[in-house]
Amino acid sequence: MLKKLRIAQIAPIWNSIPPKQYGGIERVVYQLTKELVRRGHEVTLFATKDSKTSAKLVSVVPAPMSGKIPWSNPAYTLFNIAKAYKMAGDFDIIHSHADFWAFPLATLVSTPTVHTLHNRLPVDKESSDYQFYLRYPDQKLISISNNQRQHLPWNFVATVYNGVDTNKFSFSSKKGNYLYWTGRINYLKGAKDALLVAKKLGLPLIFAGAHKEGNIKFYEEELQPLMNDPLITDVGSLTAEKEHYYYQNALCTLVPIHWEEPFGLVMAESMASGTPVIAYDRGSVPEIVVNGKTGFIVKEEAGVNGLAAAIKKIDQIKREECRKYVEEHFTISKMVDRYLDIYYKNI
């Protein structure tokens, strides 16, 4: 029988665990930690002091830092990471979700570390970020999709897909008549495309945008003129409970991304609710959406016309198939099984 492990989970400090509203990474860390504790492991979570967890909580910041300091400022992230490594002797393994900032400290202790990289990885080989990765080739990296790792293939130990709480995002066989878009407000997330296709088809759109900070100009100049329309309902950043309601009752969820999204929890949550996804063929989309079965994948160059054509045939998708696919590939249990296998192989 495998021994119970003493595990450190280093969370980002931008949002609480679990997040009160937006925060896909924090949602995954919460579910991972909760399930590890349920299975009898001794888990210590390094996160904001207002976090709620069944694990032991260690905090260096009282509340989320999002909106208080720039995303590019690593100071509080490093404070959080350093606290974990100061206690490294208390753990069998350290699992960092704090991007590459943990790399240097991980080399200074004997406790093994694995790093889940939740964000887009550097592509430009001349960039400082790319060069930073090259300095730590022995660090054990975990990708959240196979697409994510294509530019840094040499030091990944596994791909682990994010898991969805299928109890919270429960299945509904009914469908509504509105389109749904949720995400961070910026061009890359496809907010403008979602608005344009709703107007093109004359369909209602529930628009759940989060974090305008840093994108005020884009929001005011590109989005607001389109949102002055009775078809568009701006509901802002949502709690998970409210988001679940909108997922369940949508005709489909739009994910017209313009970047290499590493995973895209929105897609899995939508399909868990029985709602098909229409997305551009970027990043991890082909690994999450089965074209013609759980939604439609549209060529990015087809743009809004391509989205519109896909929406018109959305009735071909069986909502039961969306839910079934999530149960087979993207559950919390499957995610935790995979992480535990990695832990045991690396202690």
Nearest of 116, 211, 203 to residue 162 by alpha carbon: 116
Tell me which residue range forms the domain holding 273.
179-328
Task: Considering only residues 67 and 224, tell me which one the structure prediction assigns the higher pLDDT.
Answer: 224
**One domain for residues 56 and 131:** yes
Query: Which residues on adjacent β-strands are paired with residue 291?
Result: 295
Nearest of 8, 6, 5 to residue 80 by alpha carbon: 8
Residue 168 within any structural domain of the chain: no
If you search the block for the tokens 């897609």, which residue do you land on? Answer: 267
**One domain for residues 137 and 50:** yes
Q: Does 200 have pLDDT greater than 70?
A: yes
CB 10 within 8 A of CB 77: no
- What mean pLDDT is predicted for residues 203-207? 97
**One domain for residues 49 and 96:** yes
Nearest of 23, 76, 19, 25 to residue 53 by alpha carbon: 19
SS3 content of the chain, % helix, strand, coil (to 5): 40, 20, 45
Residue 274 within any structural domain of the chain: yes
Residue 172 within any structural domain of the chain: no
**CA torsion angle 331 336 342 345 (round to 10):** -130
Q: What is the pLDDT of residues 280-303, one digit of tens each?
A: 999 999 999 999 999 999 999 999
| Tokens coding 108 | 């200074």
Residue 187 within any structural domain of the chain: yes
Which CATH number does the domain housing residue 145 bear? 3.40.50.2000
**One domain for residues 185 and 215:** yes
**One domain for residues 117 and 132:** yes
Q: Give burial (CB, 10 Å; 0-12/13-18/19+) of 75.
A: exposed
Q: What is the pLDDT of residues 130-182, one digit of tens each?
A: 999 999 999 999 999 999 998 887 789 999 999 999 999 989 898 889 999 99
Instruction: Return the H-helix or E-strand segment holding 255.
Output: strand 252-255
Task: Considering only residues 170 and 330, tell me which one the structure prediction assigns the higher pLDDT.
Answer: 330
Residue 171 within any structural domain of the chain: no
Residue 292 within any structural domain of the chain: yes
Q: What is the pLDDT of residues 71-104, one digit of tens each?
A: 788 999 999 999 999 999 999 999 999 999 999 9
Pairing of strands 56-58, 42-46: parallel
Question: Residue 212: what pLDDT?
Answer: 62
Angle, CA 240 vertex, CA 114 and CA 337 arms, to 5°: 30
**One domain for residues 153 and 88:** yes
Asked if residue 18 has a cis previous peptide bond (ω within 30° of 0), the answer is yes
Domain total of the chain: 2
**One domain for residues 316 and 336:** no
**One domain for residues 154 and 14:** yes
Q: How confident is the model at residue 214 (pLDDT cuts 50, 70, 90)?
A: low
**One domain for residues 68 and 84:** yes
DSSP-derived letter for residue 110 is S
**One domain for residues 260 and 155:** no
CB 36 within 8 A of CB 59: no
Q: What is the pLDDT of residues 177-197, one digit of tens each?
A: 999 999 989 899 999 999 999
Residue 323 within any structural domain of the chain: yes
Question: Residue 213: what pLDDT?
Answer: 61
Using CA atoms, how far apart are residues 295 and 207, in angstroms rounded to an integer?
19
Asked if residue 286 has a cis previous peptide bond (ω within 30° of 0), the answer is no
| Tokens coding 173 | 């066989």
- What mean pLDDT is predicted for residues 207-215? 77
- What mean pLDDT is predicted for residues 202-228? 87
